[in-house]
A and B are shown apart, each in its own frame.
Chain A
Amino acid sequence: MTSLSDFTPNEMMTIAAARALSNDDVCFVGIGAPSAACNVARLTHAPDITLIYESGTIGTAPSVLPLSIGDGELCETAVTTVSVPEMFRYWLQGGRISIGFLGAAQLDRFGNINTTVIGDYRKPKVRLPGGGGAPEIATSCKEVFITMKQATRGMVEKIDFYTSFGHGEGGNHRERLGITTKGPTLLITDLALWKPDPETKEFTVVSMHRGVTRDMVQETCGWRVRFSERLEETPPPTDLELTTLRELQARTERAHGGKKGT
C-alpha cells in the first residue's frame, strides 16, 4: 500500500472518526479507538465537545489517552464527576447524550455488536469481557458511531451474541422494540466510511479512504458489501490532524510506561 505511505490505515480511521464529531456533541466515549478519535476531535475542530466516560467523568479533557475508563486524569480535568448510578440514570437514560461511540469485537451488517462470547453463551469458545455500559449506550444515546478495524473474523454475517442492539434484522426493527433513538448511523473502519441504508438499515460503503479498493473492503468483510452509487474518497488527514494524533499517542506512550492507552 505505497499510496498510504504517509499515514497508516489506523491513523486514517481515527481521524475520520474524529471528523464525524462536532463541537456541540455530548459524547459517551468507549475505551480504545473511540477514545482516541474523541480526543483528536477535541484537540482539533471541536474544542468544546463534551466527553463523558462511564466512570462518571463529565466534560473531561485528558492530556493523554486513558488506559482505563476510570483513570485519575479523567476526573481531574472533568467539569464534574458523578456517581456511576447517576451517570447511567440521569445522564445516559435521561437522554442527555448525543453520540455513543463504541468499538466492537464482532459486528454484523446491521450494526449489531457482540463483545460477550465467541461460540455458545453457555459453552463459549472464547469468553470476551462482555457489554459493560454498551447495551444501554446503544439504545439511550441519540445516535451511535462504531469504529473498528476491518477483518473477516470481526465483520461477520451473523454475530454469536447480541451484546448491543443496532438495527436488529434491519428495517424498522428498533421501532418495533420500542427503541426511539436512531442507533448506529456511522461505521468508521480503517478502509472506509459506512452509513446505514435509509430503508433496509444495512451498512453501505459511502466513502473509501485514499488508496483503498473495493476488493480490499470486500476481502476484509464477512458479508457481501454494498457500495453507494455515489461513492466518495475520504479526504486524507491534514498535517494538523496527523500531528495532533501522533503527539497525543506519543504523550500517552510516555505516560503509560511505553504502552498505548488502548
Chain B
Amino acid sequence: MAKFQSLKEAVAENLREGDTVAFEGFTHLIPHAAAHEVIRQGIGDLTLIRMTPDIIYDQMIGMGLVKKVIFSYAGNPGVGLLRRMRDAIENGWPRAIETVEHSHAAMANAYEAGAAGLPCAVFRGYRGAGLKEVNPAIRSITCPFTGEELAAVPAHRPDVAVIHAQKASRRGDVLVEGITGVQKEAVLAARRSVVTVEEIVEDFDDLHPNLCVLPHWTVTSIAQVPGGAHPSYTHGYYDRDNAAYLEWDKISADRDLFTAWMKENVLDRGPEVFAQRVKGLHE
C-alpha cells in the first residue's frame, strides 16, 4: 500500500547500503530529485541498474556511492560522454567500479522478465556482438520447438525501483504519461519502489482507461516533488533543460569543479529547489 512521505523519509526507509537500485526514466521522467536525496543521505556501495546512466549516475558515481553499474549506454544523451563514469572506469576515481554492460534490448527484456517473475529473459540478440565475449551474464538458450539459438540474460530484480511520474491520486495510484520507458517494468520487478510525482490529485476518474497506471498496492512510497525530474523533463509540465545537459559536460570534466558543484547544488540543498529550477521551462 503506497505511503505518502517526504522524499527524505521515503529514501531513508527504502534504500539501504549495498542495495541494488534502478532509477529509471528513458530521457523523460528521470528521477533526479530522488537521486540527489540518496547522495545527501550518503547511501553507498550501491549496485545501479539503468539503461542510460545519464547525469544522475554520473553524479552518484562521482560521489563514490557506487560499486557496480549495469547499463546499456553510458552517454550524456545528445551531448557526448559521461565524464565521471569514465573517470571511474579509466582511472578508478573516486573508486573503481565494476561494470556489467548490455544492449538496450537485453536491458528492456531483463526488466520485463523481472516484472513477469521469470528468472531470465530470452530474446533474439547479441548475434555477432562483442559484448557477449566480455559479459559472462550473456548466455544462450536453444528453443525446444525450433532449435533456434537465442540470447538469455538474467532478469532484473532490483531491491528498489525509483521513478518520477506526473501524478498520484490520493489513494496512491500513479500515472505515467508520454515516453513511458521501462518504469512500469522496473517497479513491478523491484521489491520496493519510491515514486516522486509532480502533483497529487483527488482521483483518476476522468482519465483515459488505457493509460499507464501503477495501482497503489504496487508502490511502496510516494513523495510529491514538483520539478523532480529536472534537468530531464515531465511531459505536460516542463521541457527538458538541454542547456543544463550541455553545462554538465563542462562541470563533470573537472574533479574539483564537480565536487564544488555537488556541494553547492546537491549537498547543501533540499528537494524544494527543483520547483524553482523548472520555472521558465514550462510548456
Q: Assess whether B181 is in contact with A257, with CB atoms less than 8 Å apart.
A: no
Give the chain B neighbours of A140 by CB distance below 8 A. Answer: 124
- Does chain A have a CB within 8 A of B86? yes
Give the chain B neighbours of A83 by CB distance below 8 A. Answer: 180-182, 184-185, 212
Stretch of B33-41, B75-83, B252-260, B271-279 with 4 or more beta carbons under 8 angstroms from chain A:
B75-83
With contacts A130-B101, A178-B148, A259-B242 known, what are 5 further pairs, Cβ within 8 A? A55-B27, A84-B51, A89-B108, A132-B72, A139-B124
Size of the B side of the interface (Cβ < 8 Å), in residues, is 57
- Does chain B have a CB within 8 A of A47? no
Among A66, A85, A135, contact of B131 (Cβ-Cβ < 8 Å): A135
Give the residue among B80, B134, B242 with the most A Cβ atoms within 10 A.
B242
Among B86, B179, B185, contact of A85 (Cβ-Cβ < 8 Å): B185
Among B103, B212, B243, B283, contact of A134 (Cβ-Cβ < 8 Å): B103
Of residues 98 through 119 on chain B, the ones whose CB sits less than 8 Å from some CB of chain A are 101, 103-105, 108-109, 111-112
B-to-A contact residues, CB < 8 Å:
26-28, 51-52, 71-75, 77-82, 85-86, 89-90, 101, 103-105, 108-109, 111-112, 123-131, 134, 148-149, 178-182, 184-185, 212, 233, 235, 239-240, 242-243, 245-246, 283
A-to-B contact residues, CB < 8 Å:
31, 54-57, 66-72, 74-75, 81, 83-85, 87-89, 92-93, 116, 121-122, 124, 126-136, 138-140, 161-165, 168, 173-174, 177-179, 256-257, 259, 261-262
Among B104, B149, B246, contact of A259 (Cβ-Cβ < 8 Å): B246
In the A-B complex, the 9 residue pairs with the smallest Cβ-Cβ separation, listed nearest first, are: A70-B27, A165-B128, A129-B75, A67-B78, A68-B77, A162-B130, A132-B73, A68-B78, A136-B105
Decide yes or no: A72 and B89 within 8 Å by CB, A56-B180, A67-B77, A135-B105 being known contacts. Answer: no
Q: Assess whether A127 is in contact with B86, with CB atoms less than 8 Å apart.
A: yes
Decide yes or no: A130 and B75 within 8 Å by CB, A85-B109, A121-B134 being known contacts. Answer: yes
Q: Assess whether B72 is in contact with A68, with CB atoms less than 8 Å apart.
A: no
Q: In whole angstroms, what is the CA distance A123 to B283 when docked?
A: 44
Question: What are 18 A-B interface contacts by the 8 Å CB criterion?
Answer: A66-B78, A67-B242, A68-B78, A68-B240, A71-B27, A72-B283, A84-B181, A84-B182, A85-B182, A85-B185, A93-B105, A121-B134, A131-B73, A136-B104, A136-B125, A139-B125, A177-B127, A257-B243
Give the residue among A129, A139, A261 with the most B Cβ atoms within 10 A.
A129
Q: How far is the CB of A3 from chain B (nearest CB, A)?
A: 33
Give the chain A neighbours of B179 by CB distance below 8 A. Answer: 55-57, 70, 72, 74-75, 81
Decide yes or no: A131 and B129 within 8 Å by CB, A55-B179, A67-B242, A89-B112 being known contacts. Answer: yes
